[in-house]
Amino acid sequence: MNAPIQHPIVSRDHWIAVRKALLAREKELTRLGDRIAAERRALPWVRLEQDYLFDTADGPRRLSELFQGRRQLLVQHFMFGPGWEQGCKSCSFMADHLDGMAPHLAHRDIALLAVSRAPLAEIQAFRQRMGWRFPWVSSHGNDFNRDFHVSFTPEERARGEVFYNFHMTAFPLEEAPGVSVFSRDDTGQVFHTYSTFGRGVEVMMGTYNLVDLTPRGRDEDGLEYTMAWVRHHDRYEDMAAPAAACCGSARAQA
């Protein structure tokens, strides 16, 4: 952890004046966020030509069958490849927020789902360890991860750059984080409406919003990659051990 920042100590009146100046900037950011959200909702859609088949706890299911009776589906592209000992720690940090959000999103006609390329048995074992309840399906054997540019072949990585976050870039791992949104019409046709990658996945990290309110913040300045401090929520007792690189290195890309 970085050394504490030395802050000036001032009167309450001085603090309020400085705080009000910052509040004006915060309001600018809020209004900009509202305008961008409107632009996001207005994006055109892409009709999916393939109704991907996934392995689920209820047996094989098509993407169009994973909406849980709702019209909108939010998917976390969770970094967990075949044969991995455990899921990515940073993706796990993201997923820790899902169960609490699920009932609220359901009332906005939104279903939640995590997708990984690991076989279903490996996913279920890790899901049980972490105590999660949200649906998590396996794309092992289909092209979903490749088509949405969150899994890369050895040949792609050997070329030095892969297509990620809508451009060619160097990426150190075979799996990448992301969030994608889909909509389904009354005929069962599925449309891709939105995806975000890199630091865009912070939309799922409500903890970060609270951390950013504190004086120390994320404590990531000067670190080799972001989220180095994050652990799986059942591993925080061993803070002396260095954290292995994961999707935090990808998140450093704006």
What per-residue confidence (pLDDT) applies to 225?
58
Give the CA count within 13 Å in the CB-facing half-sphere of 100. Answer: 8
Mean pLDDT of 32-42: 98
Distance, in Å, from the CA atom of 8 to the CA atom of 12, rounded to the nearest integer, reads: 12
Mean pLDDT of 63-91: 97
Mean pLDDT of 104-119: 98
Question: Of 89, 78, 83, 86, which Cα lies nearest the Cα of 54?
Answer: 78
**With 80 as the cut, is the pLDDT of residue 240 above it?**
no
**104 band by pLDDT with thresholds 50, 70 and 90:** very high
Distance, in Å, from the CA atom of 96 to the CA atom of 49, rounded to the nearest integer, reads: 32
Mean pLDDT of 6-10: 91
Structure tokens at 181: 């949104």
Looking at the chain, the whole-number percentage of residues with pLDDT higher than 70 is 89
Q: Taking the model in full, what pTM does it have?
A: 0.91
Question: Of 189, 146, 196, which Cα lies nearest the Cα of 49?
Answer: 189
**With 70 as the cut, is the pLDDT of residue 61 above it?**
yes
Pick the range with the lowest mean pLDDT from 80-94, 134-148, 238-252.
Answer: 238-252
Question: Of 151, 109, 118, which Cα lies nearest the Cα of 136?
Answer: 118
Place of tokens 């990531």: 220
Structure tokens at 227: 């989220």
Mean pLDDT of 179-190: 97
Pick the range with the lowest mean pLDDT from 34-48, 94-108, 127-141, 239-253.
Answer: 239-253
Distance, in Å, from the CA atom of 113 to the CA atom of 95, rounded to the nearest integer, reads: 10
Whole-number mean pLDDT of the chain? 92
What per-residue confidence (pLDDT) applies to 216?
86
Place of tokens 């990290």: 205
Q: Are 176 and 163 in contact (CB under 8 A)?
A: no
What per-residue confidence (pLDDT) applies to 196?
98
User: Using one digit for the tens of pLDDT, what is the confidence trace for 217-237?
Assistant: 888 775 555 788 899 999 997
Pick the range with the lowest mean pLDDT from 25-29, 191-195, 232-236, 237-241.
Answer: 237-241
What per-residue confidence (pLDDT) applies to 237?
77
Distance, in Å, from the CA atom of 157 to the CA atom of 226, rounded to the nearest integer, reads: 22
Distance, in Å, from the CA atom of 224 to the CA atom of 249, rounded to the nearest integer, reads: 8
DSSP 160-189: T-EEETTEEE---SSB--EEEEEEE-TT--
CATH number (3.20.20.70, 3.40.30.10, 3.10.20.30, 2.60.120.260) of 46-204 reads 3.40.30.10
- For residue 20, CA distances in Å to 13, 16, 17, 23, 34 come to 11, 6, 5, 5, 21
